[in-house]
Structure 1
Amino acid sequence: MGNKTETGKRAYLRYTLWFLITGAFVFGWFAVSGKSMVWKFDGVYQHFNTLVYYGKYLRKILHSLFVEHKFCVPMWDMSIGYGADILTTLNYYAIGDPLTLLSVLVPGSLTEYLYAALIILRFYLAGAAFTAYCRYHQNEETGVLLGSLVYAFSGFALFCGVRHPYFVNPMIYLPLILIGIDKIFRKEKPWLYVIMVAVSAVSNFYFFYMIVLMMVIYAVIRYLMIYKKIRIRELVPCLGTFAGWSLLGVGISLPVLLPSAMYVLGTGRMSARNYVPVLYPLAHYAKLLNDFFGVDYTMASSRYYTVMGFAPILLVALLVLLVRWKKNRELKAGWLILTVLLLIPFAGHMINGFSYVSNRWIWAYGMLLSYILVKMYPEFGKLEKKERMALLVLGCVVLPAGELILNQYATLHGWIGIGMTMLLTAKIADPKHSWQQRQTTAFFLVTTLVSVAANAYFLFSPNQTNYIGDFREQGAPYAMLTAQAQNEIIQEIGDTDTFYRYDQYGNVARENTAMQNRLYGTDFYYSVTNNAVAEFLQEMDTSNSMEQMYDGLDGRTILDRLTGVRYFIIKKEKEQYLPYGYTEKVAENKKYAVYRTDETLPFGYTYSSVISQDSWDSLKVVEKQQAMLQGAWIKRTGNTEADLPETELSFSDVTPEYEITTEGDITISGSEYQVKEKDASITFHYQGVENCETYLVIEGLDYEGTATKFTLKIDRDNVEKKGAVYTCRNSFYSGKEDFLYNLGYHSEASSEVTLTFQQKGTYTIGKMYLSEQPMNMLDEQTEARKEDQLENLVIGDNIITGDITLDQRKLLVLSLAYSTGWKAYVDGQEQTLLQTNGMFCGLKLESGKHRIKLRYQTPYLIPGLITGLFSILLCMGIALQMRKKK
């Protein structure tokens, strides 16, 4: 088969041609199905939403620079959740990725086309980067082309590249970084390495961590190849060289990496204790052979993201590598290391940032297999007789036998993969084959194209797994974020006040749409959330199970008042879900109605007393929410106690006694509930009170069963609530075990609440009780908080200002998510900002008239910028020094 290499121009032209042909069989599914390339879940509300937002954001910066002649980079946005840092929230999705800068050129209504183009471009660049790596090592041209195609269109790319587009970015970065490593070993210029380390670190901290681990494995193997053994006199200088260039690349990235990384480390998901088994279930291992050839997207999450779907030629190349055991030891070492990591759950836990077990690093495994194909392709025609026989046995006997033994896990796709593997194996092992170049090249290229097309067919086709059905119709995504979002009806009201929030219940969640419509809401769904908000929701035992996703405040009147909710969106004919006080209907359309209340708190409200941390810790959750309408809770963070008297708290909640009856096969033994059939239930019979909200409080909830997520349904009269709960074996688990379910406001007394367990299993509940919260005192307590409030409020880019006049010393609470990035100034003098009422900001004020000013700056941004600038200058200095030496 020769050892022919080709010029760079020819190599990339061939790759581009075959990429376009292959891509037609992959991306064509979207065109013929009338689908956009926006996944209907995270795709709309996270990825596409962020790209639209980022385009507007960049255009706003340019407008301020060239039209208003001022340089202003907004760092905080009140319309993201309860207010959030823009950089640290959106870096994971767009900010930092060089490709997303193109969004500045495209209006939101056309971003769907840019979104699709960037997905295809990422696939293309992944293969092009792999081509560059192979060409750097002077590999044979056809092998490089085959390897680039199967790498670019691996099952991971097909599944994740359209689901989470930035998941393909590490496939672009790693080959280029590995070239940089080899350049350093060869004492060539290090700049490719430095630049790509910086780009990958800026682009996405999550995958940069994985890339670093793969870099270490690669560098160690390369070191042993070059030096054969470890000697201190060679190892120390080598480590110093790599450490220096790596630190330089990371240093350049720190303006983005440092704030983002520090933000992530403060989230609850990072500290949650995730379940890590010693081994995967036996069925998982049994399915791996079948998984090698295809992607079952419905099982990706439950299968720890072990998404392979490789072309059969990769398995054939691997078999060739194994039968030629004495050669290519570095490839064998790499394959053995990564295979062992793939088979051990702890490795998935470690490589996933010591979070839940996930093999999202499998794209690196795909790169290794693709490179094995590149190296083995010239060897296909050079096998000795014993090697051909061993290959035939493995490919035509062992593999089919294995699939037969594991037939209960086999699929049609898997059997087709086995059949194609047998065909390829037989051809390679045929001693009579002449290996004429054109015919051989055509055969392998066509079979590879057929393999990728088959993968796409089984993945996307409505007649197979119908992954295409999970994508939105063309033209739908932007409309869903804007004109079709429920909050669009709020804009129609025309309320011109500077600040108010809206809440909702019973609607299909469309998180993050407030950031497109420039409204202030109570929903949020991004992977990285403000820890103060997460802690507040945890303190309040809200019914949401994911700290990074919350859809309102469950209609809890006190919490809505504390957060400034003026408008409540409800589905028509579902008024029983309205909180207390929302009696004025101010807008409606075919689906939704909006109700207003004036009994809510403004952006800045005041307290004349505080709740100590010790008092707070002694309260039940239903008492905590009442307490915050009476006194301010200041989180203890060093010497930050307000110089105000202790609040004399009074509580009006009622905890009724009850009797329990059961329905279905359920056995109660102390705190343990053995549920032996789905939808078994328990009913609480009690004597309720009038004019109140009814809560079911569950503390210390645990579950043992087959599911990693279970659902509780709670009913009171005509109100039904459902709550999804994640176990420690689920990737969305964040350690939450306490929940309060609001069963709505009612003027008449209730007498029954039913709790239904919708999955079989053993439920352990540390404590469970009913609580009823009368509304009698709420209006009076709300008015007391509004007695002195912030006036002349202006919310600008990174700055909030207002005025307040007090006749006594008080604590001003601002309905602004707490962050250390906020600096407060009272009458021009900086003052400590206190974390108050869980997630908000507080200021101690003396009597008199005060001018309040808050200024925001992303935490760690300045140290990152200084280090980044220094690193760039250092690079320039080193480059000049190198030029002088040359």
Structure 2
Amino acid sequence: MQSKIATGGVTTAQKQDAPREEDNAVKQESSQEEASVRRGKTALSGYAMYTVLFFVTVSTILIYFWKYHKSMVWDCDGVYQHFNSFVYYGKYLREILKNLWENHTLSVPMWDMSIGYGADILTTLNYYAIGDPLALLSVFASPEKAEYMYAFVVVLRLYLAGFSFLLYCRYHKNENVPSVLGALTYCFSGFALFVFSRHPAFVNPMVYFPLILIGIDKIFSGEKPWLFIWMTAVSAISNFYFFYMICVLMFLYAVVRYIKLFGGIRLKELLGWLLKFIGYFAVGIGIAAVTFLPSAMYVLNTGRMEAGNSVPALYPLSYYGRLAGDFFCVDYTSPGSRYYTVLGLVPLLLAAVFVLLVKRKKNTDLKAGFFLLTVFLLFPFFGHVLNGFSYVSNRWIWGYDMLLSYILVRVYPQLFRLDKTEKRVVLLLAVLYGAVVLLIPGHGTAHSRIAVAMLVILCAVIALCGSLKNRRWMTVFFYAMTIGGVGLNAWFLYSPQQTDYIGTFRTAGRPYKMLTTASECYPVKELGDTGDFYRYDSYGIVAHENTAMQTRMYGTDFYFSVSNGNVNRFFDELGVCIRVEQMYDNLDGRTILDRLAAVKYFVVKEGKEAFLPYSYDTKAGGNGKYAVYESGDILPFGYTYAFAVSPEQFAALTPAQKQQALLQGAVAEESSLPEAKLVFNDQEPQITVTAGEGVQVNGNTFTVSHDGAAVTLDFTGVGDSETYLMLEHVVYEGSADNFSLLVTMGSTEKKIPVYTPRHSFYSGKDDFMCNLGYNIEPQTQITLKFSKAGTYTLDDLYVVCQPVENIDGQTEKLRADVLQETEFSDNRITGSISLDSPKMLVLPMAYSDGWSAYVDGAPQKLQGVNLMYTGLELEPGEHSVELVYQTPYLKTGILISLFSICVFFSLQLLDRRIKTV
């Protein structure tokens, strides 16, 4: 027996046991530290393995760019929008830093006259560069070498997409092997292969979304909300368009996670969670308000948001017929790609889905997400909603890709624990699915056959893997099948022997030249005209939109996703033939519109002088490809009207009369000027319509039986005039969702592209007044050719002859009193003017609420004039005029951002104090 000795209430035995307890505690703590170290090493090895395999996999794509000497700049949007914005942003940042370094002043330009008819820099380029953290790297690349930095950033986005997915997997304590597999299938999904160099910004949500989901899970777990707040802010700052999709998908995720964690919906608790998330979300949005608020408000005012696109109940049958095969085939020509339903996933993901389905009582949250998002792909309504209630587009499909990749991660351990029945079912599903794909007409391609074979082999191996004891070989096999699947998709997508996607990318070293020396505006720049403000216009050439941004000139073209609604209103009212409301190349060669826009030079292809407007009869230069002609009768930046035209009076005019009215009186909502006594001299000759083969004419209805059929319009024209063909309210009934009308008169041929409400680019345009050019001799015949078979109905079809005899005299009146000593600087325009009577000063730049005017130092009201330009009514006398620009809602956004950042740090401080207490 042990004897007790008085030792302060502790027995000798207890004393003897105490060291052992201390040893146990030390051992336990040491064990925890070792486990933590092991987890850290495991995580590190996972990131290292992902990095190695990423570069192995991405090489299966990059080899096509290297082999065929291609840049990573896509032909159309890639050159003139994404790459152009990247180069512009680099110059923009360097100029700000240079000014800060040399002059010790922070000057941030907010308006650029070289973007369209003048545009806000932030709201125009937020969709492409400004706000994207990775785009900041553009500051380190010279314009001539920017192509290489652009390519680096393009690949870096892909890497970060997989890396953020891996972080999500590690947060949920998933194994390394499936996590790396999932990261690879996610960042190399068909959607990513399709857009990563075509529309680089489309990969950004793939980077942000997994991190936002980690933030949501941290909040549910009682951890800090900091990640959720900041990733919400970064997503909102980066791109308002994809941020909307992120918001919808993260809400769905939060609902599914709530039900999973709490086993159902309890209203009292749900309300508390909802308020908590709303609060954190509001702080994140508030931090982003500096860019998000101006951009969101700007895009809400574009015509593209109000186009009224048609949303069918179902997709075309061809869409559903190809969907099964498109699951692992990347074909940018398929019906699904039209709606951005670009899947092209590796077969391993479909095998994982089969395993998910056979495990009835497991992963109910993943099953719910899979069925929900699959339904979203089947009905156009969801593509409409997730695209901001605009046209139908499944650009949210990256969210579906993440779900499927995470299904692979979660079911991977179960691959080795399937019973015999489950294995047979998985294999049977693979065989049946493969049979369906191969039996559908048009699906028996080499791509689909190989993909189906890979799927069946995978499922056969899964059926056998339970008997294989060495998982290492299985891991190698799955990695190889994943990389092989990506390589297969890359081959069929990029290879010239297949769909030749690589052919749509520009030759290495070419993109920056296309924006500068190879553009049609460069011969104008080579003239060295550094005098007063002027614009150039063009026609009859392949347009190079937005190139004026790089050459620092002023043009009449524009192509960005959001545009000034005032410019669109101008084009609509005057029936100017443009493709879509966010893309316009010229002013259709109309003399009056060129005068009002201060167009001094007009560019045509050599030998295409038929496109030249009236008065552009002096050849000023050229480079053998493009010829530059100059007009000696133009308006400066800042001309004046002595008379006004009320909006009501203007609205009652025809498009031909409207453009004449714009030379005689300022169209303004508010004006004290006397009303203009308008004079019109346009004529509408009688026309005779003769139907060609394949066309039946019944009044203003044309029934066209085959593509390319035409009608001839005979008339007696007027000499020394411009001739227009007017088409009012064109309605098409047929199988196509877009068509073109080819209009020919003599040597002048113009194409009017028209989109129906079923097309994603539809913006409500159905009135067109096509200018067929200026001719001294009377014209007598126009041919109208229909590109698509169908029925065309018009409210009216007629010819307008617009004599030019009054134009010079009316121009001279507007030039009587003009703005003198005009100077342009960052966000500021100054000049002086002397008037003998009240007049409306009109500045030929797109109107924006961001401009403020000061006349002789006192504030003065600016307003939109002539539909899209900027006007300022002045009293008689000598005046100094100053215009100052600030991005609308920017100041409010800055204040909200500063306040929200203070709230964020207050939350952190409060959290620390609670911990201390």
AA at the equivalent of 2:891: I
The 5 A counterparts of 1:875-886 are: 875-886=904-915
Closer, same or farther: CA 299–541 of 1 in aligned 2, 3 Å:
farther
Whether 1:393 and 2:421 are equivalent positions in the alignment is no
Deviation, structure 1 residue 300: 6.2
Whether 1:641 and 2:676 are equivalent positions in the alignment is no
Whether 1:552 and 2:604 are equivalent positions in the alignment is no
Match of 1:619 among 653, 657, 667: 653
Match of 2:825 in 1: 796
In 2, the alpha carbon distance for the partners of 1:105 and 1:54 equals 11
The 5 A counterparts of 1:398-797 are: 398-430=432-464, 433-634=467-668, 640-797=669-826
Match of 2:109 in 1: 74
Whether the aligned pair in 1 keeps the contact of 2:430 and 2:459 (CA below 8 Å) is yes
In 1, the alpha carbon distance for the partners of 2:64 and 2:534 equals 44
Match of 1:637 in 2: none
Whether 1:166 and 2:201 are equivalent positions in the alignment is yes
Deviation, structure 1 residue 763: 1.0
Query: Secondary structure, in 3 states, of the residue corresponding to 1:347?
Result: helix
Whether the aligned pair in 2 keeps the contact of 1:701 and 1:737 (CA below 8 Å) is yes
Partner deviation per Cα, 1:240-264 (whole Å, 9 max, x = no partner): 1100100000000001000000000
AA at the equivalent of 2:781: E
AA at the equivalent of 1:317: A
Query: Secondary structure, in 3 states, of the residue corresponding to 1:427?
Result: helix
TM-score, normalising length: structure 1:
0.98
Moved more, 306-315 or 671-680: 671-680
The 5 A counterparts of 1:225-236 are: 225-236=260-271
Query: Secondary structure, in 3 states, of the residue corresponding to 1:297?
Result: coil
The 5 A counterparts of 1:10-25 are: 10-25=45-60
Query: Secondary structure, in 3 states, of the residue corresponding to 1:493?
Result: coil
In 2, the alpha carbon distance for the partners of 1:170 and 1:698 equals 43
AA at the equivalent of 1:715: T
The 5 A counterparts of 1:283-322 are: 283-299=318-334, 303-322=338-357
Match of 1:208 among 213, 220, 243: 243
In 2, the alpha carbon distance for the partners of 1:194 and 1:303 equals 35
In 1, the alpha carbon distance for the partners of 2:581 and 2:187 equals 34
AA at the equivalent of 2:801: E
In 2, the alpha carbon distance for the partners of 1:270 and 1:410 equals 40
Match of 1:243 in 2: 278
Whether 1:340 and 2:380 are equivalent positions in the alignment is no
Deviation, structure 1 residue 545: 2.6
Query: Secondary structure, in 3 states, of the residue corresponding to 1:787?
Result: coil
Whether 1:331 and 2:366 are equivalent positions in the alignment is yes
**Structure 1 runs not aligned, ≥5 long:** 635-639
Whether 1:36 and 2:65 are equivalent positions in the alignment is no
AA at the equivalent of 1:458: F
Match of 2:292 among 257, 262, 268: 257
Match of 2:893 among 860, 864, 869: 864
Whether 1:849 and 2:878 are equivalent positions in the alignment is yes
Match of 1:101 in 2: 136
Deviation, structure 1 residue 7: 2.6
AA at the equivalent of 1:857: Q
Partner deviation per Cα, 1:554-594 (whole Å, 9 max, x = no partner): 10000000100000011111111100000111112111111
AA at the equivalent of 1:542: V
AA at the equivalent of 1:755: L
In 2, the alpha carbon distance for the partners of 1:175 and 1:549 equals 34
Query: Secondary structure, in 3 states, of the residue corresponding to 2:795?
Result: strand
In 1, the alpha carbon distance for the partners of 2:87 and 2:315 equals 40
In 2, the alpha carbon distance for the partners of 1:770 and 1:844 equals 37
Query: Secondary structure, in 3 states, of the residue corresponding to 1:298?
Result: coil
Deviation, structure 1 residue 718: 1.2
Match of 1:111 among 146, 159, 163: 146
AA at the equivalent of 2:51: T
Match of 2:301 in 1: 266
In 1, the alpha carbon distance for the partners of 2:607 and 2:562 equals 35
In 2, the alpha carbon distance for the partners of 1:658 and 1:388 equals 75
Deviation, structure 1 residue 4: 9.7
Whether the aligned pair in 1 keeps the contact of 2:328 and 2:345 (CA below 8 Å) is yes
Over aligned residue pairs, what C-alpha RMSD do you find? 1.2
In 2, the alpha carbon distance for the partners of 1:717 and 1:790 equals 41
Query: Secondary structure, in 3 states, of the residue corresponding to 1:303?
Result: helix
In 1, the alpha carbon distance for the partners of 2:398 and 2:106 equals 40
Match of 1:277 in 2: 312
Partner deviation per Cα, 1:237-295 (whole Å, 9 max, x = no partner): 10111001000000000010000000000000100110111011122111111101111
Deviation, structure 1 residue 431: 6.4
Whether 1:90 and 2:125 are equivalent positions in the alignment is yes
In 2, the alpha carbon distance for the partners of 1:772 and 1:422 equals 69
Partner deviation per Cα, 1:319-349 (whole Å, 9 max, x = no partner): 0000002111000001011011111100000
Query: Secondary structure, in 3 states, of the residue corresponding to 2:89?
Result: helix
In 2, the alpha carbon distance for the partners of 1:98 and 1:400 equals 43
Whether the aligned pair in 2 keeps the contact of 1:403 and 1:410 (CA below 8 Å) is yes
Deviation, structure 1 residue 6: 5.8
Partner deviation per Cα, 1:139-191 (whole Å, 9 max, x = no partner): 11110011010101000000011100010000000000000000000010111
Deviation, structure 1 residue 410: 3.6
Closer, same or farther: CA 435–356 of 1 in aligned 2, 3 Å:
farther
Moved more, 298-307 or 732-741: 298-307
Whether 1:63 and 2:63 are equivalent positions in the alignment is no
AA at the equivalent of 2:814: R
Match of 2:20 in 1: none
Query: Secondary structure, in 3 states, of the residue corresponding to 1:183?
Result: helix
Whether the aligned pair in 1 keeps the contact of 2:724 and 2:772 (CA below 8 Å) is yes
Identical aligned residues as a percent: 52
Partner deviation per Cα, 1:488-538 (whole Å, 9 max, x = no partner): 111111111231000001111100000100000000000010111111111
In 2, the alpha carbon distance for the partners of 1:334 and 1:15 equals 26
Partner deviation per Cα, 1:77-101 (whole Å, 9 max, x = no partner): 0000000000000000000000000
Deviation, structure 1 residue 408: 2.9
Deviation, structure 1 residue 435: 4.2
AA at the equivalent of 1:452: V
Partner deviation per Cα, 1:606-665 (whole Å, 9 max, x = no partner): 11110011111110000000001000111xxxxx51111110001000100011111111
Deviation, structure 1 residue 671: 2.7
Deviation, structure 1 residue 881: 1.2
Count of aligned pairs between the two proteins: 878
Deviation, structure 1 residue 197: 0.3
Closer, same or farther: CA 492–431 of 1 in aligned 2, 3 Å:
closer
Match of 1:193 in 2: 228
AA at the equivalent of 1:516: Q
**Structure 2 runs not aligned, ≥5 long:** 1-37
In 2, the alpha carbon distance for the partners of 1:431 and 1:176 equals 33
Closer, same or farther: CA 302–750 of 1 in aligned 2, 3 Å:
farther
Whether the aligned pair in 2 keeps the contact of 1:498 and 1:795 (CA below 8 Å) is no
Match of 1:126 among 158, 161, 175: 161
Match of 2:419 in 1: 384
Query: Secondary structure, in 3 states, of the residue corresponding to 1:430?
Result: helix
In 2, the alpha carbon distance for the partners of 1:274 and 1:835 equals 28
TM-score, normalising length: structure 2:
0.95
In 2, the alpha carbon distance for the partners of 1:303 and 1:525 equals 20
Closer, same or farther: CA 425–301 of 1 in aligned 2, 3 Å:
closer
Match of 2:216 among 181, 187, 194: 181
